[in-house]
């Protein structure tokens, strides 16, 4: 009997009140216990970059290993590495009595400005799903649980509680649902977290079509679906729509509300039973796990973090083999990012690292000849003279044979709760590059950022390294790559465009007010750039090595494939260089003649091979019928037109190495593409994808009324929305005092958590123990109804 069936049997023995109590959290970080039936609390904490157990103000907490950010790890293209990182995370979680990690996040990187992109893997759904699945399996092999998030359409942080992601049917299934489907089917996480936003007008925690019919129904998910923190707009009746666990909760009054809803017929006994059973699966899995994995060694975890960074850092440019350096003589380091431990983003993923190391720390420990350093720019310190810092850096560059120039996004620019304003590096850093280049052209550029930035000076740098946000041991791995002790093998899991204007969604992201139109449809990332033949800075899959590889010919097990058939593709890869190297082999599928809109090519497999000099290994791929399908909205399923498809082994999304073909025998008669799809069939010929709101509405089968200004405030208004009202100003002061620890003012996380709190809707206050009456009163006061606000406090609800 599996865990869900055991839970359903257990639920039959529980009184209704006990079942109702299971449907919401016991405080911020655990589920409710029921001791009469040996049902323990399940303790959960954040985990995308490592274990985060918050302190008293939610900002600081227990030190833990800070692993490379998912944006960095994705560049490894290695499921084995992701499994190992997950294993370390799970072991550390159990050591600190945490049962469930709130990770991984597999949301698609739709736009580079999304503040949370550093927490996600890729612009490609297959890669995102496979890496997320591997991390889940790694975590859960220890006996801890994993939570897949944020389901789904959470591709921007701007007004994330209130906006609606308007996505057409094809893009919904092909791009945004697919990584979750892969991770759920292959990883089997304990839990799935519903995102804050709406999808096509429906709040995700209330979306019975996606939560009940798709996830629990068609996909067969047998775990628990929880809300994001304060993410349920209708917390009681959402349990009838697929939500099992509401998180968090600072009051037990919700039990009364649930019982009343059952009594009044708003919630059925069956809905309560099923939700309670799925929450109980967490407790059952906790009770049944083995305790052997509780042994934990922080040094072991940090070693894996370092190995992961070494396999993920991307060498994007290496003009005339500028790298690796033979030694560090004549080398100078310029840039404040080399001095500051900029290893992660901000928000709920923030880990208090055990031993954070800056690049200068590594240099002082490992340098044989001593390396000179100049700060170069203020990096947010208002007390420093930027011009003086730049002049000092230029003087140092004049005296140096080669320059290692560190540039980085500001520490608080990438965070949960808000988006970046642009794709540019700070002006003072751009000017610094120009000034240094005037006196020294031997520049190796290191860019610290969790998401792509514009690099207008990339052509002038001799070498470029992209570590993303590499975790607490990342700078050690970076130093080893520079000195040739590690051969770089990272490959970009997302496209780096030349400028923000080239991003397909740039003209309509994030959207007006609370509606975000996904007008680019399926053309996200390389699917757009390659189809439109749009030049980019670095293509998806790009990454250089200190060795070279030679590819053999493609071997196919089958000449054709039918709906129930499979085919195997094999290709030999040889290391023809002089050093050990790891090669990522990428398989793309394409078809020249299409009656329906299709990207130029799509990733269908990736294999990582580690090869000694002269060694040959075989990359092997399994292909199935669905690999040649698209989601046909008119049929409501995955379908193929059939015909001859190209199979291409590619160095990156722009460079084909070896190709072959296979015939696909289709079983379905695919209807013709509707006339509304014309913009998506012809945009390549017309240039940049330019679809009007009306054309997108016709394609998506919707009618969009023009959005007007909100008529006053309501419970979905955010604390920031009401911040200019008298009551809003008072609340703003209170939130600031709560989110700021006076003893730790120097920690930059304070500002990030304050901004996150201000972005929450008023309705979320009920999860913090604030009564519904008070929330209604705050709304009334914000709208200028002074006496009505006080009357609300006297009413009975």
What confidence score (pLDDT) does residue 56 get? 66
What confidence score (pLDDT) does residue 303 get? 97
Class of residue 772 by CB neighbours under 10 A (exposed 0-12, middle 13-18, buried 19+): middle
Q: In the structure, what pLDDT confidence band is assigned to residue 492 with cuts at 50, 70 and 90? A: very high
The DSSP annotation for 260-323 comes to HHHHTTSS-HHHHHHHHHHHHHHHHHHHHS-SGGG---HHHHHHHHHHHHHHH-EEEEEGGG--
> For the chain, how far is it from start to end, CA to CA, in angstroms?
43
What confidence score (pLDDT) does residue 718 get? 86
Task: Say yes or no to pLDDT of 241 above 50.
Answer: yes
CB 427 within 8 A of CB 387: no
CB 296 within 8 A of CB 94: yes
With the CA atoms of 200, 206, 210 and 215 taken in that order, what torsion angle do they form, in degrees rounded to the nearest 10?
A: 160
What confidence score (pLDDT) does residue 134 get? 98
Strand partners, 403: 332, 443
Tallying the residues shown for the chain, one arrives at: 797
What confidence score (pLDDT) does residue 58 get? 54
Class of residue 63 by CB neighbours under 10 A (exposed 0-12, middle 13-18, buried 19+): middle
What confidence score (pLDDT) does residue 594 get? 80
Mean pLDDT estimate for the chain: 93
CB 187 within 8 A of CB 151: no
Burial 96-115 (b: 16+ CB within 10 A, else e): eebbbbbbbbbbbbbbbbbb
Q: What 8-state DSSP symbol labels residue 715?
A: T
Question: Which tens digits make up the pLDDT trace of 497-551?
Answer: 999 999 999 999 998 878 999 999 999 999 999 999 999 999 999 999 999 999 9
Residue where the block lists tokens 């736009």: 111
Q: How far is CA 537 from the centre of its chain?
A: 22
Q: How many alpha carbons fall within 13 Å on the CB side of residue 227?
A: 33
* Mean pLDDT of the region 18-44: 96
Q: How much is the pTM?
A: 0.95
What confidence score (pLDDT) does residue 708 get? 64
Quick one: what percent of the chain has pLDDT higher than 90? 78
CA distance 291 to 143: 8
CB 290 within 8 A of CB 90: no
Give catalytic status of residue 564 as yes or no: no
* Mean pLDDT of the region 262-272: 96
Query: What SS3 string covers 742-762?
Result: HHHCCCCHHHHHHHHHHCCEH
Question: Which tens digits make up the pLDDT trace of 276-326?
Answer: 999 999 999 999 886 655 678 899 999 999 999 999 999 999 999 999 999
CA distance 338 to 489: 22
CA distance 128 to 74: 8
Catalytic residue among 99, 124, 228, 328: 228
Identify each DSSP E strand in 562-636 by its residue range. 566-575, 581-590, 602-611, 616-624, 630-632
Helices (H) and strands (E) in the chain, counts: 22, 28
Distances (CA, A) of 234 to 30, 92, 197, 476, 715: 21, 35, 13, 48, 11
């Amino acid at each position: 009997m599996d865990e869900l069936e055991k839970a359903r049997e257990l639920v039959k023995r529980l009184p209704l009140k006990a079942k109702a109590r299971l449907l919401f959290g016991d405080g911020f970080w655990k589920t409710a216990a029921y001791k009469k039936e040996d049902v323990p609390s399940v303790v959960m904490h954040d985990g995308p970059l490592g274990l985060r157990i918050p302190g008293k103000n939610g900002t600081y907490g227990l030190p833990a290993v800070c692993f490379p950010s998912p944006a960095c790890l994705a560049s490894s293209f290695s499921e084995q590495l992701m499994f190992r990182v997950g294993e370390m995370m799970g072991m550390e979680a159990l050591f600190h009595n945490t049962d469930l990690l709130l990770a991984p996040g597999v949301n698609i990187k739709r736009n580079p400005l999304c503040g949370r992109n550093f927490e996600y893997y890729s612009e490609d759904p297959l890669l995102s799903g496979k890496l997320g699945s591997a991390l889940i399996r790694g975590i859960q092999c220890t006996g801890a649980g994993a939570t897949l998030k944020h389901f789904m359409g959470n591709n921007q942080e701007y007004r994330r509680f209130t906006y609606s992601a308007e996505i057409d049917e094809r893009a919904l299934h092909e791009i945004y649902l697919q990584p979750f489907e892969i991770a759920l089917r292959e990883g089997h996480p304990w839990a799935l977290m519903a995102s804050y936003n709406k999808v096509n007008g429906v709040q995700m925690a209330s979306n019975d079509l996606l939560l009940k019919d798709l996830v629990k129904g068609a996909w067969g998910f047998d775990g628990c679906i929880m809300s994001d923190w304060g993410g349920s707009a209708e917390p009681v009746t959402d349990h009838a729509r697929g939500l099992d666990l509401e998180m968090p909760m600072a009051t037990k009054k919700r039990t009364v509300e649930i019982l009343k809803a059952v009594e009044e017929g708003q919630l059925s006994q069956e809905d309560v039973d099923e939700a309670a059973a799925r929450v109980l699966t967490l407790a059952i899995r906790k009770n049944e796990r083995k305790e052997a994995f509780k042994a934990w060694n922080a040094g072991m975890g940090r070693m894996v973090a370092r190995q992961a960074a070494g396999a993920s850092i991307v060498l994007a440019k290496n003009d005339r083999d500028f790298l690796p350096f033979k030694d560090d003589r004549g080398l100078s380091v310029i840039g404040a990012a080399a001095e500051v431990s900029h290893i992660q983003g901000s928000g709920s993923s923030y880990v208090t690292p055990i031993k954070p190391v800056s690049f200068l720390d590594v240099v002082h420990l490992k340098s044989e000849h001593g390396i000179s350093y100049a700060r170069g720019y203020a990096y947010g310190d208002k007390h420093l003279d930027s011009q003086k810092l730049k002049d000092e850096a230029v003087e140092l560059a004049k005296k140096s044979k080669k320059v290692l120039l560190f540039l980085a996004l500001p520490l608080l620019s990438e965070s949960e709760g808000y988006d970046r304003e642009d794709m540019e590096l700070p002006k003072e850093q751009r000017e610094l590059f120009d000034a240094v280049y005037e006196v020294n052209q031997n520049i190796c550029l290191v860019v610290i950022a969790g998401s792509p930035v514009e690099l207008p000076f990339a052509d002038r740098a001799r070498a470029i390294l992209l570590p993303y946000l590499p975790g607490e041991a990342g700078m050690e791995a970076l130093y080893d790559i520079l000195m040739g002790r590690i051969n770089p093998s990272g490959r970009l899991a997302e496209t780096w465009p030349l400028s923000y204007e080239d991003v397909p969604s740039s003209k309509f992201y994030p959207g007006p007010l609370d509606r975000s139109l996904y007008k680019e449809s399926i053309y996200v990332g390389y699917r757009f750039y390659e189809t439109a033949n749009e030049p980019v800075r670095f293509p998806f899959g790009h990454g250089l090595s200190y060795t070279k590889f030679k590819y053999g010919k493609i071997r196919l097990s089958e000449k054709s494939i039918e709906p129930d058939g499979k085919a195997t593709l094999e290709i030999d890869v040889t290391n023809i260089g002089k050093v050990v190297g790891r090669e990522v082999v990428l398989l793309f599928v394409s078809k020249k003649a299409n009656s329906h809109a299709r990207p130029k090519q799509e990733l269908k497999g990736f294999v990582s091979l580690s090869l000694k000099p002269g060694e040959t290994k075989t990359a092997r791929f399994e292909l199935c019928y669905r690999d040649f399908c698209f989601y046909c909205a008119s049929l409501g399923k995955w379908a193929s037109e059939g015909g001859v498809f190209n199979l291409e082994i590619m160095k990156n999304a722009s460079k084909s190495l070896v190709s072959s073909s296979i015939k696909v025998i289709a079983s379905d008669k695919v209807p013709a593409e509707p006339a509304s799809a014309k913009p998506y069939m012809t945009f390549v010929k017309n240039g940049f994808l330019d679809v009007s709101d009306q054309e997108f509405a016709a394609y998506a089968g919707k009618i969009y009324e023009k959005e007007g200004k909100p008529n006053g405030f309501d419970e979905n208004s955010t604390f920031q929305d009401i911040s200019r009202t008298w009551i809003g100003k008072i609340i703003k002061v209170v939130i600031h005092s709560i989110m700021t620890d006076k003893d730790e003012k120097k920690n930059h996380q304070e500002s990030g958590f304050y901004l996150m709190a201000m972005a929450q809707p008023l309705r979320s206050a009920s999860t913090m123990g604030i009564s519904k009456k008070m929330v209604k009163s705050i709304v009334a006061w914000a709208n200028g109804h002074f006496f009505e606000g006080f009357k609300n406090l006297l009413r009975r609800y």
